[in-house]
Amino acid sequence: MKITEVEAFLGGGWAFVKVHTDEGITGVGEGGVAWVGRGETLVAAIKEAARYLRGKDPLSIEHNWQALYMGTFYRGGPILTSAISGIDIALWDIAGKYYKAPVHRLLGGPTRDKVRVYVGIGGDTPQELADNALKAVKKGYTAVRWAPFVEGYQRMRHCDVLRVAVEQASAVREAVGDKVDLCIDVHTRLTPIEAIAMARELERFRPFFYEDPTWPENISAMAEVARHVNIPIATGEHLYTIHQFAELVEQKATHLVRPDLTMAGGISAVKKIAAIAEAHYVGVVPHNPLSPISTAACVQLCASIPNFSILEYLTPERDEYDFIERRRPLGTPRKGDIVDQTVELENGYLKVPDRPGLGIELREELLKKMPYVGGTGILMIREDGSIAAW
């Protein structure tokens, strides 16, 4: 079997890869970074990779991965690894279909029957957050996540930022009780000392994890936060190589790694990242704010690793980020429509599918009706006019 063509196309806030073979088997994957305005750049990188892949064996997944990563003078970078990620996911989809088995069977078999997820909640006030948390719990979710800020936070004083976080966490914890996990996402908006201060205020509410408390470029800074707080740190969605993740866990900068399968090298690389984490007793919480293709790939990986903790999940009816949903023209399909079926959700868990490959197929005819709305990035301005972290 040989690869005959590699397609790359955009739709909604996403970038997809479709790999064709001379035996008629196709595979679909998804590359990251498109949702933050880098879709066209990513598509160009995928098309460049296609020049190498044509004529190659799609079942030589690791060999192809190494060729795409190592076969260049400049390695790494989120654009290149996102392109490789989408291709890698598509090749695993082909392998599963070729061997008539779900991908997790090819990765060593399932370690679980279902994958626990958390869902994001929003609200302009603590009460709205609490109400939305209760709605999620009534739908069967056992964990909720939000960012403990309000609009205009970047122009607020330190004490007010802490007060808002405490009021929100207090309201949500009181509403849902102790049987629901609270996941608090700082979105890298704080300096290390600010992140430590906020964590100490929030410890009393017993969060399941404290996500991306500070900027990701400096792993030593993340380790400093981890040493001074009593909440599990979850981070890694901005990282894109196994070497970065190895440094992250070796410096004890996190308790839960958050690799993004669409950016950190696909199923092949994230399986290795999970093994590195396992050796350090670190759990895996994949970053998954993208399309149902990303979710399907995550479920296959999560089913196969022993140190999986919980998966980020966006319902098929909505987009995580309002800037994408606001730009979706009226009458165009929502993201759940772009696949033939979504992974089944039941009481806060995704059932591990047994269909070959990823278990879902992209509906390209609907995707064509969804113009790309990745935007130009995310920009936050402080009151003095300087740039703030998102």
How is 196-255 classified by DSSP, letter by letter? HHHHHHHGGG--SEEE--B-SS-HHHHHHHHHH-SS-EEE-TT--SHHHHHHHHHTT--S
First to last CA, the chain: 45
* Paired residues of 350 in beta bridges: 115, 345
Using alpha carbons, select from 38, 81, 58 the residue that is nearest to residue 240. 81
Please list the residues that pair with 102 across neighbouring strands.
357
Burial 335-347 (b: 16+ CB within 10 A, else e): bebbbeebbebee
Let me know: does 154 contact 380? Beta carbons within 8 Å: yes
Q: Is 14 helix (H, G, I), strand (E, B) or coil?
A: strand
Cα 109 to Cα 66, 105, 338: the distances in Å are: 24, 4, 28
Residue from 20, 63, 187, 243 carrying the catalytic annotation: 187
Active site residue 287: yes
Q: Is 187 a catalytic residue?
A: yes
Q: Of 17, 14, 16, 18, which Cα lies nearest the Cα of 36?
A: 14
User: How far apart, in whole angstroms, are the C-alpha atoms of residue 148 and residue 83?
Assistant: 33
Q: Is the dihedral of CA 253, 257, 263, 265 positive or negative?
A: positive
Active-site residue (options: 20, 104, 255, 287): 287
Q: Which two tokens stand for residue 154?
A: 């970047």
DSSP code string of 240-289:
-SHHHHHHHHHTT--SEE--BTTTTTHHHHHHHHHHHHHHTT-EE--B--
DSSP letter assigned to residue 370: S
Half-sphere exposure of 157 (CA within 13 A, CB side): 2
Partnered with residue 362 across adjacent β-strands are 339
Active site residues: 187, 287
